[in-house]
Amino acid sequence: MNLRNVAVVGFAQLPVVARDEHRISTEMLYPVVRQALADCGVQRDDIDYQIAGSVDYMDGRPFGFVAALDVMGSWPPRQDLHLEMDGSFCAYYAWLRMQAGDCNTALVVGHGKTSEGEPDRVMNLQLDPYYQAAIGLDPTSTAALQASAYMARTGASDADLAAVAARNRAAGARNPENQLRDATSAAELQKTPWKVEPLRAGYLPPVGETATCLILAAEGKAEKLCDRPAWIQGVDHRTEMQTIGARDLSRSASTKLAAEKALAMADVASAREVDLVELFASSPAEELIVCDALGLDAKASQPVINPSGGALCANPIMSTGLIRLGEVFRQLSGRAGARAVPNARRAIAHATQGHCLQHNLLWVLGSERRWS
Amino acid sequence: MKRPVAVVGVGQTHHTTRRADVSIAGLVREAVDAALRDAGLEHKDIDAVVIGKAPDMLEGVAQPEQYLAGAVGAHMKPLLRVHTAGSVGASTALTAVTHVASGLYDRVLTVAFEKQSEGNAMWALSPNMPFTPPLVAGAGGFFAPYCRAYISKTKCPPHIGPMVAANARDNATRNEYAHLREPMTVDDVMNSPMLWDPIRFGETCPSSDGAIALVIANEATAKKGPRKPAWIKSGYSYAEAMWVPGRDQVSPRAGQVCSKAVYDAAGITDPWNQIDVAEIYVPFAWFEPMWLENLGFCGVGEGWKIVDRGEQKFGAHLPINPSGGVLCTNPIGASGMIRLGEAALQVMGRAGAHQVEGAKTALGHAYGGGAQYFAMWLVSSEQ
Amino acid sequence: MNEPPKEPIKYVDSKVYLPYHYVAGDYKARYLRALKDKRILGSKCSQTGKVFVPPLMNSPESFAPCTELVEVPDRGVVTTFCIVNIPVIGRNIELPYVAASVALDGVAISIFALIQECKPEEVRMGMRVEAVWKPDGERHGDHDDIQYFRPTGEPDAPRESYINRL
């Protein structure tokens, strides 16, 4: 199948902070949209399509996303969509529109001030309202269930989780966009109290917020917007049913399937062949499970996992997945500063949604076009 | 459209005030099962699922597509969830169309629903927003001033809204799925309480529980049958900013631009004569003449005259909302897809008692937000 | 409690408790604080000079930033309105009331406002109105420092002057 070559050509974000006291969600988004366009050297009118990701409940406003139209340059009227999902899924749909020939350039944003509400309460409401939400399960508890299942099957230990967290924190210290920017040793992290056993407070990201904007462009346009576009070579996403008791929590079947499809599309035999992987993992156990599903050894030095510091160092929820894609762009286009992986030419970006890695999206990107 | 795309199955629930007999999953599943049966397909034939619905506060479940993934047969498939306010049902269907038009998916199930009896709908739609005076009282309170502006601008007489409402109920008597089906006379509407002057109770949409699902498919599937498909000639979804100075709230530019794009791509140059039937999103009766103008069926100030002459009634020149429309049925998240689905049923020849005879070309339309989001498609019985 | 229930369970009641602690944002905060001093602030588009109330960080029309805050008069025109007859949870306004779009003088867009000190039937598009503030000492820097708008008694504004500021 010969698809259209599409690339990520720009990405802008605000540094992730616990709470921006001076700007509402749309006021955080406006400068980021302006920045992304300026970095590509284009005006808003040069972009064919726009799509936004945000969640009403996180915003504490029904129709909260409507206000974003006013800061995205929605005049004259624009072809537009909004998904109640992380921005990474919006990027997927924009890519799909390019495959359908419906646009050549797209503006993808993620926004939402998670500091205004209590994400744990909101995410409890994602669960089946009849059987599971009523128990009071919050996302840390469900993640802990999953971590226990994984540790029981594989024999992974608290020390293994601490090592993963420490690796992310060390990498994250080199990334000025992060909320957590200090390296901490595994031993120190293992001293933090349990949030929900087996997950310690030190293994979990703080609540944080930002705004993000990513620009996609098809071949023919991409080269004009960016000196080193990050070409999308393969992509796929899959969801599983939510019911926590009905799936094998120690594995991520949807990640495995999405990876198979995305890697096949990219004509890459295995995830081990890429130079770096950016995963959206809100706990070290999730990271280990996703690595398993990708056939990666989390302890190996190749490919480099989460050179950005991952979601542990910055988890703005509506943008975390889009940031993974943006980080891969920075790496492949030589914009990764102190955290650059040398000679990075191929990478994987992952995004997830829903309790216990319910829904997973895999991108394979590279410095070369996939199709001729 | 890069590749031919068609609607090959439609399934909807009998819309009503409260479906106390099913869970949220049960409601959605009814529509899904009906659509698959209609298309002669099974879950294994479906490559992806696209779900749409309006604010999640309406049911008290955040991002319910996660909870519903299993019920809609999306296990181990791609799933997306769209939310574009009132237009969501339509923009969701269009998202499914893109999936097939891309060539990467052959058959996509798309579902839109609302089970708003379960929450408090008024609160879910207009809680007191921070740092804003709490003046707007529901959607009607937001739109009533613009209906007034239309009436003032066009000298629209006061019986037009009631005529639209009475006609919608008449249409609904021919639609077994509609929520409000008792006939109303123009006098009944005129005598109903004024809610947000100039909008009366009789001119207002209900709050409904309901779901609708469509199967969108590629050419090969559509040609295989068992049903005659509805070919999607074009579809677009546009949005505009709210606080643009001089913004026309009565005939928003996004609606004009969107309909022009839909017509141009489908080769329509004379909508009034080339379109046989239109299902348009009219939640408050005054929007019917407003949208007739916004959609280019007539000139500015002429929309209410079409209603006055009855040219938009069932059996007349251009039947509008033969299903009864949003005025008779409004599960908010579903309404946009019901418009698009009803348009498809018309050209498939399957609208039962509300079938417009010989309908070959139909428009499905929806809008949302402060009249900012517009999503529409044009379907045809011919490829 | 060993017997299964005789009737199947039909309903699950769920009371949702979600606290939110919203940020006003500097633009809105400065606007609200100025109300305490009986001042209405708008923001000015750096490209077109058009003024927005309440202040916006950018003009949605030009997409340029609005970097300057300017004071605007507390009087203007009713561009359109409706008369509300239904109650809303948590609100205490006496019914019926007039909810109007009011375009303040010199401002490019309109605000929503309550119209009082006249019968609802007397309100009309083009009616000139002025703000009625809470007395000194009772204003706290909140949107209800302006209690409502009332007719000034001046002749109605010509249609062209407000028809594009609905």
On whether residue A193 sits in a domain, the answer given is no
Residues B213 and B270 in one domain: no
C-alpha radius of gyration, chain A, whole number: 19
Q: Is B300 on the interface with C (CB under 8 A)?
A: no
Angle of helix A87-99 relative to helix A320-332, nearest 10 degrees? 60
Check if the beta carbon of residue A110 is closer than 8 Å to that of residue A94. Answer: no
Type of residue found at A270: S
Give the CA-trace dihedral at A136, A140, A143, A148, to 10 degrees.
-90
pLDDT, tens digit, 9 for 90 and up, residues A216-259: 999 999 999 999 999 999 999 999 999 998 999 999 999 999 99
Residue B246's pLDDT is what?
A: 93
The ranges assigned to domains in chain C are 26-162
CA atoms within 13 A on the CB side of A313: 30
Joined together, the tokens standing for residue B168 give: 């919608």
Closest Cα to residue A25, out of B130, B66, C111? B130
Using an 8 Å Cβ cutoff, are A212 and A12 in contact?
Answer: yes
In a domain, B317, yes or no: yes
Alpha helices per DSSP H over B102-235:
121-125, 138-154, 160-172, 186-190, 219-224
Q: What's the structural domain count of chain B?
A: 2
Q: At what angle do helices A284-294 and A158-172 cross, to 10 degrees?
A: 90
For the segment A67-105, what is each residue's pLDDT rounded down to a tens digit?
999 999 999 999 999 999 999 999 999 999 999 999 999
Residues B72 and B180 occupy one common structural domain: no
Residue B202: partners with Cβ closer than 8 Å, 6 or more residues away: B162, B165, B184, B188, B189, B190, B192
pLDDT class for A338, splitting at 50, 70, 90? very high
* Cα–Cα distance measured from residue C44 to residue A39, given in angstroms and rounded to the nearest whole number: 26
d(CA A169, CA A172): 5
Same domain assignment for residues B316 and B196: yes
Do B187 and B257 have their domain in common?
Answer: yes
Which residues of B fall within a CB distance of 8 Å from C61?
241, 244-245
The reply to whether B112 falls in a domain is yes
Task: Sort out which chain A residues have CB atoms less than 8 A from C12's CB and list them.
Answer: 129-130, 134
Which residues in chain A are closer than 8 Å to C25, comparing Cβ atoms?
Answer: 22-24, 27
Among B370, B373, B374, B372, CA closest to B142: B370
The one-digit pLDDT tens for each residue of chain B (383 residues) are 779 999 999 999 999 999 999 999 999 999 999 999 999 999 999 999 999 999 888 898 999 999 999 999 999 999 999 999 999 999 999 999 999 999 999 999 999 999 999 887 767 776 677 888 777 777 888 899 999 999 999 999 999 999 999 999 999 999 999 999 999 999 999 999 999 999 999 999 999 999 999 999 999 999 998 889 999 999 999 999 999 999 999 999 999 999 999 999 999 999 999 999 999 999 999 999 999 999 999 999 999 999 999 999 999 999 999 999 999 999 999 999 999 999 999 999 999 999 999 999 999 999 998 889 999 999 999 99
Residues B191 and B335 in one domain: yes
Eight-class DSSP state of C154: P
List, as ranges, residues 75-114 from A with C-beta within 8 Å of C. 75, 113
Exposed, middle or buried by CB within 10 Å (0-12, 13-18, 19+), for A269?
Answer: exposed
- Residue B369 gets the label, from left (phi > 0), alpha (psi -120 to 50) or beta, of left
| pLDDT at site A254 | 98
**Number of Cβ atoms within 10 Å of the Cβ of B223:** 13
**CATH number, position B10:** 3.40.47.10
Q: Any CB–CB contact under 8 A between A57 and chain C?
A: yes
Q: How confident is the model at residue C90 (pLDDT cuts 50, 70, 90)?
A: low
Q: Which other chains touch chain C, taking contact as 3+ CB pairs less than 8 Å apart?
A: A, B
Neighboring chain C residues of A117 at a CB cutoff of 8 Å: 18-21
Which residue of chain C has the CA closest to B246? C164
CB environment B105-119: b (16+ within 10 A), e (fewer) = bbbbbbbbbbbbbbb
- Say yes or no: ipTM exceeds 0.90: yes
Question: Do B158 and B79 fall within a single domain?
Answer: no
Name the band, by pLDDT with cuts 50, 70 and 90, for residue C1.
low
B346 within a domain of the structure (yes/no)? yes
In sequence order, the 6+-apart residues with CB closer than 8 A to the CB of B21 are none
Can you tell me which residue has the tokens 């009503």?
B16
pLDDT given for residue C92 in this prediction: 77
Token pair recorded at residue A112:
């939402």
Structural domain includes residue B287: yes
Q: Does residue B133 fall inside a structural domain?
A: no
| Average pLDDT along chain A | 97
Mean pLDDT of C142-161: 93
- Residue B52 placed within a domain: yes
pLDDT given at position B251: 96
Q: Are C144 and B133 in contact (CB under 8 A)?
A: yes
* A165 inside domain: no
The residue to which tokens 């207002």 are assigned? B204
Residue B226, preceding peptide bond in cis (omega within 30° of 0): yes
The residue to which tokens 């992509």 are assigned? A235
Alpha helix ranges (H) inside chain B: 24-39, 64-68, 88-101, 121-125, 138-154, 160-172, 186-190, 219-224, 253-266, 271-274, 287-294, 303-308, 325-328, 332-348
Q: Kindly determine whether residue B60 and residue C14, on different chains, have CB atoms separated by under 8 Å.
A: yes
- Confirm whether A50 is domain-assigned: yes
Give the HSE-up count for residue B351: Cα atoms under 13 Å, Cβ half-sphere: 35
Q: Quick check: pTM over 0.95? A: yes
Residue A360: closest C-alpha in chain B: B78
Total beta-carbon pairs less than 8 A apart between chain B and chain C: 107
DSSP assigned state of B134: S
Determine how β-strand B107-115 pairs with β-strand B48-52.
parallel
Q: Is residue A163 one of the residues assigned to a domain?
A: no
Are B172 and B213 in a shared domain?
no
pLDDT at C89: 65
Say which amino acid occupies C137. G
**Residue A20, domain CATH:** 3.40.47.10
Which residues on A lie below 8 Å from B242 (Cβ)? Answer: 66-67, 69-70
pLDDT at C11: 87
What is the residue-averaged pLDDT of chain C? Answer: 93
**Under 8 Å between Cβ of B381 and B228:** yes
Higher pLDDT, B300 or C90: B300
Decide if pLDDT at A344 tops 80.
yes
Q: Which residues of B touch A101 (CB under 8 A)?
A: 2, 101
CA distance B48 to B273: 37
At residue B139, the pLDDT reads 83
H or E stretch including A25? helix A25-40
Asked whether A47 and A106 are in contact (CB, 8 A), the reply is yes
Classify residue A319 by burial, with Cβ atoms within 10 Å: 0-12, 13-18, 19+.
buried
Average pLDDT over residues A16-34: 97
Write out the residue range of the structural domain in which residue A15 sits. Answer: 6-118+207-225
Residue B146: partners with Cβ closer than 8 Å, 6 or more residues away: B249, B250, B371, C80, C166
Same domain, B335 and B261: yes
Contact C109 B146 (CB under 8 A): no
- Residue B154's domain comprises 139-206+233-378
Nearest to B66 by CA among A101, A51, A134, A132: A132
Shared domain for B254 and B212, answered yes or no, is: no
Residue A279 lies in a domain: no
What is the total count of domains within chain A? 1
Q: Do A121 and C17 touch (CB under 8 A)?
A: yes
Q: List the single residue in A73, A74, A118 with the smallest CB-CB distance to C19.
A: A118
Smallest Cβ–Cβ distance between A27 and the set C12, C21, C57 belongs to C57
* Burial (0-12, 13-18, 19+ Cβ within 10 Å), A39: middle
Q: Which of C20, C27, C60 lies nearest to residue A70, judging by beta carbons? A: C60
